[in-house]
Amino acid sequence: MARDKPPLRWWPAPAKLNLFLHITGRREDGYHLLQTVFQLLDYGDRLAFSLRDDGAVHRVTDLAGVPADQDLVVRAARLLQEASGLKGGVDIHVEKRLPMGGGLGGGSSNAATTLVALDHLWGTRLGVEALAELGTQLGADVPVFVRGHSAWAEGTGEQLQPLELPHHWYLVLIPPVTVSTAVIFSDSHLRRDCPPITIRDFLAAPESPQWGNVCEAPVRARYPEVAAALDALDALASARLTGTGACVFAAFDTESAANAAWQQLAENWQGFVARGVNESPLNTVLST
């Protein structure tokens, strides 16, 4: 039975971009070793949580193609219950704006917001370090959203170092296709031998074309819709793929420049303009 409570409080689940993505090798267990930079955005999904007394975890929002029991938000809530020994439950409301299979980290961000919000609302108080460790059981990108800061990442993506990045505005295009990460990471043409670089290398020239995304070539070959989006955006600014896609993006110095580019493409594409932020909007909610 749900508790009486005030109106829903919405918690942000921001998107991320991979400003570059290199693969430097593979571990013996087959996992790829990466180097990347996660840029958080001031745009994403929203979640709300209604606490229950009966220990049940429900996602009350219907999301096409995502069974509730397989949803990362449900798995995150149950993982936190297990780790903390908590007996309480929750109804989870999800307002989706980020596409699935877009490379924007929507599912991972939703899971991270669930862990962080419920740690606060349930009073489990495990803290950021423990929550980030739990997050690794849900996905390699979850810890960066739990920690709530744009970051340099290595290993399988779990080794994070916060970065202070320029506050660019980004135009993100959303091609009408879902990209399978598993398919791209198993592609025989995917480059897996990039020479490691340092944070100093990247920060000395963050816009350098040598910091590319190794997934772009196999994604272009397999998904013509993504190739078309890259070409359309690249005619206006330097376009890049985020993660394994499908979304593509370009950076602009001002909001007006990003919006001007978007006006030229909006008739034929879905997308949005967002600001890059170093600190997650989720941190702001926690502090209020």
Task: Say which DSSP state 31 is in.
Answer: P
155: exposed, middle or buried (Cβ count in 10 Å: 0-12, 13-18, 19+): middle
Residue recorded with tokens 């340092």: 198
Alpha-helix residue ranges (DSSP H) falling in 43-172: 72-84, 106-121, 128-135, 142-147
HSE (side-chain half, CA atoms, 13 Å) at 18: 28
Indicate if 141 belongs to the active site: yes
Residue 58: CB atoms within 10 A of its CB come to: 16
Measured distance CA(60)–CA(80) in Å, rounded: 19
Residue recorded with tokens 């419920």: 118
Q: Please identify which of the residues 69, 141, 187, 193 carries the catalytic annotation.
A: 141
Residue recorded with tokens 């460790």: 133
Q: Please identify which of the residues 16, 45, 71, 119 carries the catalytic annotation.
A: 16
- Give the C-alpha distances (Å, rounded to integers) separating 157 from 142, 199, 236, 248: 9, 15, 31, 20
> ∠ CA(237), CA(238), CA(242), 5° rounding?
120
Measured distance CA(241)–CA(244) in Å, rounded: 7
| Closest to 245 in 3D by CA, of 212, 208, 271, 215 | 215
User: Which active-site residues does the annotation give?
Assistant: 16, 141
